[in-house]
Amino acid sequence: MRGSIDGLGSSAPLGMMLPAVFADDDLAQHFVAGLDEVLAPILNVLDCLDTYFDPALTPIDFAQWLGIWVGAETDGIDSEPRLRAAVAAAAALHRVRGTRQGLSEAVRLAFGTTPEITESGGAAWSARPRGPIPGSPRPHLHVALRLPAPTAADTHRLDALVAAARPAHMPYSVTVTATPNVTTTATERTLES
């Protein structure tokens, strides 16, 4: 968290900028020294302003605000490295939003594991007209995620994330299950939309 630092010196002391007539005046020097103490944190922020917009360097509270500003999916992310990675990847994710790659990357950034995505569509070509249409005639998207210790909150987080990152016309369902090598048992929950 950001805060004040006692004795922080100003990068541009006002006492040095006073006209020569005030250079030896103790009252004037003490007065502007008080102003230096008030302005030092502001000047420090301005000197380091570029680092506030770098997700790897910014203070964590500012990284959370930056995530809102760039539209990163950060709801439920409790790990600082994952939050910073989600903010850093936001611009790239907006370019692939609504695609399988974009949805997979958004889920990976939010949960730390890659989901299994199945969809009904397909692409093909035919040299003859009226060739077979690939995929299923009814569009559908299913996202399955395996977590070490899934909770009901994980299912709702995944549902909200898929709802925001999927193609707008595509009905979807999500499933969160426990990884097979973990002794914790979890019930499979499916949300249909």
In a domain, 89, yes or no: no
In a domain, 83, yes or no: no
Q: What is the pLDDT along the chain (193 residues), one digit of tens a residue?
A: 556 677 777 888 888 888 888 888 889 988 988 888 888 888 888 888 898 899 999 989 899 999 999 988 888 787 899 999 999 999 889 899 888 999 999 999 889 899 999 988 777 777 788 877 777 778 899 999 999 989 989 999 999 999 988 888 889 999 999 988 754 444 444 454 4
Closest CA to 117 of 157, 175, 73: 175
Total domains present in the chain: 2
Q: How much is the pLDDT for 7?
A: 73
Cα dihedral 15→21→26→30 (10° resolution): -30
**Positive or negative torsion for Cα 187, 116, 90, 63:** positive
Containing domain of residue 146, as a range? 102-122+137-193
Same domain as 111, residue 32: no
Same domain as 106, residue 46: no
3-state helix, strand, coil in the chain (%, to 5): 45, 10, 45
Give φ, ψ of 69 to 5 degrees.
-65, -40
Same domain as 39, residue 112: no
In a domain, 71, yes or no: no
In a domain, 106, yes or no: yes
Same domain as 186, residue 111: yes
In a domain, 38, yes or no: yes
Same domain as 109, residue 176: yes
Last residue of a domain, one of 8, 31, 51: 51
In a domain, 39, yes or no: yes
Same domain as 109, residue 191: yes
Burial of 150 (0-12, 13-18, 19+ CB in 10 A): buried
- Are 185 and 149 in contact, with CB atoms under 8 Å apart? no
Q: How much is the pLDDT for 3?
A: 63
Give the ranges where the chain is alpha helix by DSSP (H). Answer: 26-47, 49-52, 60-70, 80-88, 90-95, 100-111, 152-165
In a domain, 8, yes or no: no
Same domain as 109, residue 31: no
Q: How much is the pLDDT for 188?
A: 44
In a domain, 78, yes or no: no
